[in-house]
Amino acid sequence: MVSLPELADLSDANIKKIKSIEKELGIVLIAFKPMEFADLTAKQIKDLQKMEKEIGATVIAYLSSRVG
């Protein structure tokens, strides 16, 4: 079973910081618990970007100790 990124457990103060930056930048941010992103080659990135267009979704590549 693949482990999915988990939302970070943030203090009220840290949530305020995120909301402030969201307002300043006019964007939405999502905070996850720390994870290690996969170190992809240029070809792998290109292949994933092509797949993203084909499936109409954003894909995030990260390492998981529980990937089976």
Give the tens place of pLDDT for each residue, 3-62.
Answer: 778 899 999 999 999 999 999 999 999 999 988 889 999 999 999 999 999 999 999 898
Q: Measure the CA dihedral 67/37/41/59, to 10°.
A: 80
What is the pLDDT, as a whole number, of residue 19?
98
Q: What CA–CA distances, in Å, run from 30 to 15, 21, 56, 58, 61?
A: 10, 12, 20, 14, 16
Q: What is the pTM of this model?
A: 0.64
Residue spans per domain, the chain: 1-34, 36-68
Q: How confident is the model at residue 65 (pLDDT cuts 50, 70, 90)?
A: low
